[in-house]
């Protein structure tokens, strides 16, 4: 029996309410040694919706699973048509104040690194270094047969040539770069194979139902061990890929601070949650630390 991945979470216990004073975040950053774990919520101000917040994409869209993508040619056609269209918008997204603040914290030596669950590359575009892309990146494509990696822009160019005139109007864009299209809009979109071996191409991202590579997880666990504190930015922590690092930090007695407007699955492990939008909250934190956020 094929199991569907965890897409939603409903609290089964009363969680502490979020506050509006970012002072605990300021104090943690001032002490240094902070590891950032970011989620889709940090990119919403760049025009990329999150999965589970107000108006989140899961209310209208079920993400592609690894199992469906590998087993069903029509599912791949639907995915690549939607993703190709979405890439035109997704690829133009620019970092917002939240990304720029994180980069500024890093430049001032307050961070030990950034683990992001996002696949948009906006932390790096803002200037952050030592970013671990937990779920991969949409700007790369991998062949499932030979393992060849190639730039997404090359595949985008090939798809444009193979699908001349493909320009449907999408209902929206999703955090994974997938545009909302109906089957009629997908039509007979042409999917292209690997140029090296003819195998199936997949974006170099971890789909729902797919495991994060073990080496990447262990690298992140080491970062948690070496950090003095963990700062979660814009994640509901619904899926275990991010929640496990919160649990690890809490079990080790390291303070966990969360900035997220809604409750999260990690709230009971945290020293506190700041319920404010990421951009304004992190800009306020930077101001209190005397740090200028570029942009």
The catalytic residues are: 135
The reply, when asked if residue 118 is annotated as ligand binding, is yes
The per-residue pLDDT for 51 is: 56
Q: How many angstroms separate the Cα of 60 from the Cα of each of 36, 173, 213, 226?
A: 29, 11, 29, 40
pLDDT attached to residue 12? 63
Q: By 3-state DSSP, what share of the chain in percent is helix, strand and coil, each rounded to 5?
A: 40, 15, 45
Q: For position 3, what pLDDT does the model report?
A: 37
> 154: annotated binding-site residue?
no
Q: Is 127 annotated as a binding residue?
A: no
pLDDT band at 4 (very low <50, low <70, confident <90, very high): very low
pLDDT for res 54: 52
pLDDT of residue 61: 55
Q: How far separated are the first and last CA of the chain, in Å rounded?
A: 50
pLDDT at 179 over 50: yes
- Categorize the per-residue pLDDT at 234 as very low, low, confident or very high, splitting at 50, 70 and 90: very high
More confident residue, 88 or 59: 88
State residue 172's pLDDT score.
72
Against a cut of 0.75, is the pTM above it?
yes
Give percent of the chain with pLDDT exceeding 70. Answer: 91
Q: Which of 15-19, 252-256, 261-265 has the lowest mean pLDDT?
A: 15-19
Specify whether domain 56-92+136-205 bears CATH 3.30.1600.10.
Answer: yes
pLDDT value at 59 more than 50: no
Residue 14: its pLDDT value, please? 72
More confident residue, 5 or 109: 109
- Mean pLDDT computed over every residue of the chain: 90
State the pLDDT at residue 168.
Answer: 87
Report the alpha-carbon distance of residue 230 to residue 235 in Å, rounded: 13
- pLDDT at position 57 is 43
pLDDT at 58: 45
218 vs 90, residue with greater confidence: 218
**17-48+95-135+211-295: CATH class:** alpha beta
258 in a labelled binding site: no
Domain boundaries, the chain: 17-48+95-135+211-295, 56-92+136-205
Q: What pairing do the DSSP bridges indicate for beta strands 111-116 and 131-133?
A: parallel
Judge whether 117 is annotated as a binding position. Answer: yes
- Rounded CA separation 148/142 (Å): 6
Is 145 labeled as ligand-binding?
A: no
Does 194 count as an annotated binding residue?
yes
The 10s digit of each residue's pLDDT in 125-171 is 999 999 999 999 999 999 999 999 999 999 999 999 999 999 888 76
């Amino acid at each position: 029996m094929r199991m569907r991945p965890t897409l939603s979470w409903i609290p089964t216990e009363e969680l502490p309410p979020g506050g509006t004073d970012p002072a605990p975040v300021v104090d943690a950053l001032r002490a240094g040694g902070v590891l950032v774990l970011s989620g889709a919520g940090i990119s919403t101000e760049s025009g990329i919706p999150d999965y589970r917040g107000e108006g989140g994409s899961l209310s209208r869209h079920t993400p592609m699973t690894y199992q469906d993508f590998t087993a069903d040619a029509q599912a791949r056609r639907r995915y690549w048509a939607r993703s190709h269209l979405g890439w035109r918008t997704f690829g133009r997204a620019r970092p917002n104040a939240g990304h720029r603040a994180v980069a500024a914290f890093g430049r001032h030596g307050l961070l030990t690194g950034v683990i992001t669950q996002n696949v948009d590359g906006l932390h790096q575009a803002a200037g952050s270094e030592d970013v671990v892309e937990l779920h991969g990146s949409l700007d790369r494509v991998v062949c499932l047969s030979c393992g060849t990696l190639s730039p997404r822009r090359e595949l985008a160019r090939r798809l444009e040539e193979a699908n001349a005139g493909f320009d449907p109007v999408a209902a929206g864009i999703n955090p994974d770069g997938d545009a909302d299209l109906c089957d009629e809009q997908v039509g007979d979109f042409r999917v292209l194979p690997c140029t090296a071996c003819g195998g199936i191409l997949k974006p170099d991202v971890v789909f729902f139902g797919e495991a994060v590579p073990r080496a990447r997880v262990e690298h992140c666990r080491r970062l948690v061990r070496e950090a003095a504190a963990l700062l979660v930015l814009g994640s509901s922590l619904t899926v275990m890929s991010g929640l496990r690092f919160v649990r690890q930090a809490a079990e080790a007695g390291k303070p966990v601070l969360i900035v997220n407007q809604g409750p999260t699955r990690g709230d009971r492990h945290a020293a506190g949650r700041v319920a404010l939008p990421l951009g304004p909250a992190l800009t306020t934190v930077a101001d209190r630390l005397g740090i200028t956020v570029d942009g």
